[in-house]
Structure 1
Amino acid sequence: MFADTRETGFVNAITAAGVTYAVTRACTMGHLVECSCDKMTSKGNRLDKLTRTVEMEKSLPNEGDWEWGGCGDNVKFGFKKSRDFMDAPYRKRSDIKTLVKLHNNNAGRLAIRDYMSTECKCHGLSGSCTVRTCWRKMPAFRDVGNRLKESFDGAAKVIPSNDGHSFITEGPTIKPPDRFDLIYSEDSPDFCKPNRKTGSLGTQGRRCNSTSQGVDGCELLCCGRGYDTRVVKEKISCECRFRWCCEVTCNTCLVKKTVNTCR
C-alpha cells in the first residue's frame, strides 16, 4: 500500500470522485442497464430530506410554480457504485491507512453529491415562465477538482485514536477535519531532489513562472535554489484567416519568449 501522504489522499479522493462522475453520467446517458437517469416526481418544496443539502437549498427555485421532471443525474447510483468499487476491499480493516483511505474516498464522492445544482426549463406562452420543470445536475468535474485541490492545500495530519477504530488530529489545529476535508498520516517526501524510491524526478530544469506566488512560481518550485533565465525563439501560428469553404490558413511567426528554469 502507498504511503499516506497528502498527495496520495488527493489521488484517492479524485479517483473516487471520477468513478462517481463516470457512473452517474453513464446512467444519465442510458449506457448502463442497471440504472437510468433520475426522474424525480415530487413537486414544489416536498423533497426527500436524505437528499437535501445546503447547496441544494440555495439552488432551488423560490418563485413561481415548478415541479421535478426531465432527466436528472442519478448521483445516488453513482455514489453507491463508487463506494462498492473503491471501499469494499478495506471495510473489514481498521488500521490508520485504511481509515485515511476510506475517509478521502468519501470526501471525493461528497465533492460531487453534495454540490449538485438545480437546472430548470420554462414553460408558458410567448416565452413566459409561469411553470418550470427542474432537474438535478452534477457540477463540472473541473469544479470538483478545484474543490478537492483546496482540501489538499488544507489537509490535516492524523494519528490513530486509542479505540483503534478512528483517528484524531496530530497536534493543535484550527478545526478537526470534517467529511469534506482531506487527511493524511505520513509526511510527504522531499520532491525537490531526485528520488528513485518515490519516483520523484526533482525540480531541477523545470520551467517556472518568476511572477507567480503559487506552486508554479520559481521561488517555491525551485526550492530556494534559484533559477536561470534565457530568451528563446519559438514558432507559432499567426495571421490566421478563414477561407470559404472550409479551412483556416495561418502563417508561421517567430516570437521571443523569456523562459525560467530551476537550477
Structure 2
Amino acid sequence: MRLLMVIAILIFAMPMTGFGWAEGTNILLDPNLMCKKTRRLRGKLAEICRHDSALLKEIIINGINLGFRECEFQFRNRRWNCTVLRKSMRKILMRDSRETGFVNAITAAGVTYAVTKACTMGQLVECSCDKAHMRRNGGQPQMVTAATAEAALERQQQAAMLRQQMPLQDQHPSQRLSRMNNASTMTDIAPVEHRGGRNRRPGGRRGRHKFWDNIKFPEGQWEWGGCSDNVNFGLRHSRVFLDAKQRQRRSDLGTLVKFHNNNAGRLAIRDAMRLECKCHGLSGSCTVKTCWLKMPPFREVAGRLRDRYDSARKVTLRNDGNSFMPESPHARPANKYQLVFADESPDFCTPNSKTGALGTQGRECNVTSSGSDRCDRLCCNRGHTRRIVEEQTNCKCVFKWCCEVTCEKCLEHRAVNTCL
C-alpha cells in the first residue's frame, strides 16, 4: 500500500516540475500544437486560437521559423550551430543554458517581427500600420520637430501605462477594448505587476531608457506621416503566445529565466526601430521631409542578440522564490535587455544524447580564420583533415542586350578542412 501511495505521489508531482518546459519545447518545435488543446486555453490566447487562423499562422509559423533560421545563421561557425534537428533542439530547450536563452529570445523577436511586418503589409484584418500621429491631426500628417516628436511619444507611453494600471472593471467598455487591441502606443512591455515595488523583475532601473533614445530625429521641422511599423501590436501578441501562463511551482527558476529572455528578445526589436525619411519638392529639392518609424532588417537584431548571448549573466533563485539574482555576489544584476541563464552549457565537442550535443566531428573549419570557426577551436584540438574538392562555378559571363546574361561552367579546386 505504501508503495502505491509513493508511485501516485510521483505521478502527480511530475507535471508540476516538467510541464512548463516540455510544453514550451513542443510549441517551438511544432507551432501547430499551440492551439490543439483549446480546452486548456483561457483569455486572449484562446480567442486568437479559435477565431484568428491568419494571425495564428503569421505569429507561430512564420515568426518562429524566422527565429530558428536566423539562429542557425548566427551560430553556423560555432561548436553549437543551433541545429534544428528535433531530438537535439528538444534536449537543448529542456535546460536553462545560454543556448536555451538565445533560442527563446530569437524566437520571441521573430514572432514580434513577423506580426509587425504583417500589419504594415496589410495582411491582417486585426491591425494596420501605425498612423497614431495622423489620427491626432484629423487624418493628416503633422509638422513636428525632434522635441515635439519626443514629447508626443512620451505622452503616448504615459497614457498607455495609466490604461494598463487601471483595473479592468473601472474602465469603460471601449477602454477595455483599447487596452487589449490598441495598436498605436509603444510602451514598455514588461508585465504591469513587475513595474515597481516588491514584485519588480530583477535587473535594470525602471523608466529611464526610452526606445526613442536610439532614434536620430532630423533637424528642423519635418512631417510625421507615412506608415510606421506597428511594433506594439507585434509585441503584445508575441507575449500572448510565448508567455502563456504555465503550471509551475512557486520557485520555478526556469520559467522566470524564460520569460526574461522572451522579453529581452522583444525589446531588441522595439529598441532597434529607426526613423526613415523621404524628401518631397520640385526638381529633387527637399522642401518637405516626411518621416516614419520602421524596423531594421531582422539580421541586425539577431546580431545584437548574439552579442548579448556572449555576455549573458548566470543567475540563481532568490529566497522569495519569485525572482532571481546574480550567482556571483560581486556581479551586477542583469537588466531587462540582457540574456540570463541558470545552467552551464554542455560540452559541444563530443556527441551527448542527454544534453543534445551533436559534436563537431565532420564539421568544416577554416585554418586561416581567427574566429570561432578556426580549426583548432572548432575541432576542440582533435585535429582536422584536408582534401581538395572540385566545384562547378559560373564563369566568363557575358551580358547580351537587352536582358540576358550567359555564363560558362568552370571547374574550380577548393581546399576543404574537416574536423576529426
Same-fold status (TM-score > 0.5): yes
Cα distance in structure 1, aligned partners of 2:217 and 2:97: 42
Provide Cα deviations, 1:209-246, integer angstroms capped at 9, x if missing partner: 11222221112110111222222222222112233454
Counterpart in the other structure of 1:8: 100
CA distance in structure 1 between the aligned counterparts of 2:351 and 2:288, rounded to whole angstroms: 62
Label 1:174 to 1:92 Cα distance change in 2 as closer, same or farther (>3 A).
closer
Name the CA distance, whole Å, in 2 between partners of 1:159 and 1:100. 10
Q: Deviations over 1:76-127 (max 9, x none)?
A: 1110110111102349765100000000000000001011101112233333
Aligned to 2:367: 210
Q: Structure 1 counterpart of 2:108, which letter?
A: A
- Name the SS of the counterpart of 1:215 in structure 2: coil
**What does 1:218-229 correspond to in 2, within 5 Å?**
218-229=375-386
Q: 1:29 aligns with which of 99, 105, 121?
A: 121
The total of aligned residue pairs comes to 263
1:138 aligns with 2:295: yes
Say which structure is richer in helix: 2
**What secondary structure does 1:35 align onto?**
coil
Matched, 1:72 2:228: yes
TM-score, normalised via structure 1 length: 0.92
The residue type paired with residue 273 of structure 2 is: M
Distance 2:253 2:359 in 1: 29
Give 1:136 shift.
Answer: 0.5
Question: What TM-score comes out, normalization by structure 2 length?
Answer: 0.59
Residue in structure 1 matching 2:262, options 105, 129, 144: 105
Aligned to 2:89: none
Q: 2:323 aligns with which of 166, 172, 195?
A: 166
AA matched with 1:78: G
* 56-65 vs 15-24, which moves further: 56-65
1:192: which partner in 2?
Answer: 349
> Once the two structures are aligned, what percentage of the paired residues are identical?
59
Give the C-alpha shift of residue 23 in structure 1.
Answer: 0.5
AA of the residue aligned to 1:48: L
Q: Is the 8 A contact 2:326 2:332 kept in 1?
A: no
The CA deviation string for residues 45-81 of structure 1, in whole angstroms up to 9 with x for no partner, is 2322124965624534342211311111000111011
**Equivalent runs, 1:243-258 vs 2, <5 Å:** 243-258=400-415
| Greater percentage in strand | 1
SS of 2:275's equivalent in the other structure is strand
Contact 1:169 1:176 in 2 (8 A): yes
CA apart distance, 1:32: 1.0
For residues 257 and 264 of structure 2, what CA distance do their matches in structure 1 show?
11
Q: Give 1:131 deviation, angstroms.
A: 2.6
Tell me the SS of whatever aligns to 1:48: helix
Aligned counterpart, 1:126: 283
Counterpart CA distance in 1 for 2:283 and 2:331 is 54
CA distance in 1, matches of 2:214, 2:287: 21
- 2:245 partner SS: helix
The code of the aligned residue for 1:175 comes to R
5+ long unaligned stretches in structure 2: 1-20, 22-93, 134-141, 158-185, 188-208
Asked if the contact 1:64–1:131 (Cα under 8 Å) also holds between the matched residues in 2, the reply is no
Alignment correspondent of 1:48: 153
Instruction: Work out whether residues 40 and 68 of structure 1, in 8 Å CA contact, stay in contact via their aligned partners in 2.
Output: no
Q: 2:327 matched to 1:155?
A: no
Separation in 1 of the partners of 2:277 and 2:105? Answer: 30
Closer, same or farther: CA 117–91 of 1 in aligned 2, 3 Å: farther
**1:141-178 residue CA offsets vs partner (Å, 9 max, x unmatched):** 00011000001111111110111111111125653221
Which region of structure 1 is more displaced relative to structure 2, 41-50 or 219-228? 41-50
